[in-house]
Every structure is written in C-alpha cells, then in structure tokens.
Amino acid sequence: MGGKVREKARVYYHVFGDTTETLIAGIVDARAQGFTAVGHLTPFLDEDRDVPYFKTHANKIGDAIETVRKYREAVGTDVDLCIEIHRRLTPAEAVQLGLGIEEFHPYFYEDPVTPDNFDEMAYVASKINIPIATGERFTSIWEFEQLLSRNAVQYIRPDVCLVGGITGAKKIAALAEARHVGVVPHNPLSPVSTMACLQIAAGAPNFALQEYPIGEDVSPKVDMVDGAAEHDGEGFLMIPTRPGIGINLKPGAKENVPMVPREVITRLHKDGSVIDQ
Ligand SMILES: [Mg+2]
C-alpha cells in the first residue's frame, strides 16, 4: 500500500433535509457531535421527488445563495460546508451560483454540472473562485485524467466500489497527487466501503476528506460486519490497525442482510422533463 502517512482521516458528515431549518439543524447537530465538516449539503433542499420542481431563474439562484448564507451564519467558521449540487445546473447557472456563494467560503462545490463533458466542467472551474469536487460516477483512470488535464477539478471523488477497488482508487489518487489535487473518496454504499476508503486515507498523501454517511452504526448495517470505523469525537475516523481493512463480514451476512433492490425515482420538472436532484 506504500506505507501509512496519517493516523486518522477527517470526515464530512451527511446532512439531509427538505426544509432550510432541518438542514441547519443537521449542521448544528454535526458540530455538536464533534464533526468539523458537513456534506451532501444542498442549497436547493432535499425535496420529495414526487413533487414537480419549478422556480424562476432568479428565485432558483437567489434562494440557493441565501440558503448557503444561512448555513454559514448558523455555525460560523467552525464547520466546513461541502455544497452538493447533484448535477442540476447548466454551466451558466453554475457560474452564477458559484460566484454568489464564494463569500461564504464553501470547502467545495460538488458536481455543479453533469460530469460527462469535461470541457464544460473546466469552463465552470475557470470562471469561479471556489474548488470543484467531482468524479463519483467515473470508473477509470482515463476519465479522471481527462478532468485533471483540463484543471477542471480541485477535489476528485473516486468511489472504491466503482473504480477497481482500493488498487484502482490508489492509482487515481496518484494521478491527482501529481497535480496537487485532493482526494475525497465517494462513500454512500456500506460500512465495508467506509473501511476500504480509510485505506486510501492511510496511504495517499493528498487525501483531504472522507464522506461519512449517517446510520453506519444501526441495523441492518451493523448486522453485516463485526466492527466499525471509530470516530475520535473530533471529526476524524481512526485508521484501523486490524488486518485487512479492519473488519470482517459476520457469518451469514449475505443471508441475514439480503440485498434490497432500490427503485430509481427521478424528479420531474413542472413541464414534465427530468431533473437530476
Ligand atoms: Mg455527490
């Protein structure tokens, strides 16, 4: 693996909510638990996907800027804000919003536009003054190289479950290291994924922050594995010292915690077209 370069990994805690008040309460709660960064943090609200979306452009951008202002006001500078856009803006909108929230110093601006066109991501990056994070849908070193070679990203987001495991993610981290780009491993899938991600944190000098989902310590996830990442109470997960990735699947995990297929629910615009919330 190349040797351990740190003892613990800074994490960002997930915050969800369909009202600004819920989201702010989540950020305040994260701080109370000792976390120093929150993510999955939308400026648009995590609204019901069954409800069609509509706002004027002025309200869409203006309300989002005001929401980020409230986030910053709620916690001062004690907590870093990782602003998640979920690919829902055009490049022009992304530039407007990126410039509008610059004064609140977000840690990063995640997936402002769909990741498919590397030149468009590079265009947005060239026009704003906050770091872009992207890469959670990519599967290969070649896609990450396309991003990096265009200076389109400041924090890459490889998912160990998509990019060829720890080995694949290490290669991608090394590409980014050569360009002083940070690594923020994408991690929504399971406690096993979290432990695999900690191996990237352990060995990649340019590791920056680890996504840490809510609910890893409750059933059914704790029924799968015989341990969990240890939070130090100050916003870091300890790098495990046990063999392998530091946990084992419990006997019968496959049978006791069967796969639950998840329906894909896509939010629609008021006009009937698809938006990617
Ligand atoms: Mg994301």
Neighbours of ion ligand 1 (CB under 5 A): 136
Q: Is 32 exposed, middle or buried (0-12, 13-18, 19+ CB in 10 A)?
A: exposed
Spacing, Cα 133 to ligand 1 middle (Å): 8
Strand blocks (E) in the chain = 8-14, 37-41, 80-84, 108-110, 132-134, 155-156, 182-183, 210-212, 236-238
Spacing, Cα 252 to ligand 1 middle (Å): 32
Spacing, Cα 111 to ligand 1 middle (Å): 7
Spacing, Cα 28 to ligand 1 middle (Å): 21
Spacing, Cα 1 to ligand 1 middle (Å): 26
Spacing, Cα 243 to ligand 1 middle (Å): 30
Q: How confident is the model at residue 190 (pLDDT cuts 50, 70, 90)?
A: confident
Residue 128 has pLDDT above 90, yes or no: yes
Q: How confident is the model at residue 98 (pLDDT cuts 50, 70, 90)?
A: very high
pTM of the model: 0.94
- Segment 141-168, tens digit of pLDDT: 999 999 999 999 999 999 999 999 999 9
SS3 of 205, please?
coil
CATH of the domain spanning 8-256, picked from 3.60.130.10, 3.20.20.120, 3.40.50.10490, 3.40.190.10: 3.20.20.120
Q: How confident is the model at residue 206 (pLDDT cuts 50, 70, 90)?
A: very high
Which stretches of 33-56 are DSSP H helices? none
Mean pLDDT throughout 191-202?
96
- Segment 53-78, tens digit of pLDDT: 999 999 999 999 999 999 999 999 99
Spacing, Cα 264 to ligand 1 middle (Å): 16
The whole-number pLDDT of residue 275 equals 83
Residue 126 has pLDDT above 90, yes or no: yes
- Segment 2-58, tens digit of pLDDT: 899 999 999 999 999 999 999 999 999 999 999 999 999 999 988 888 889 999 999
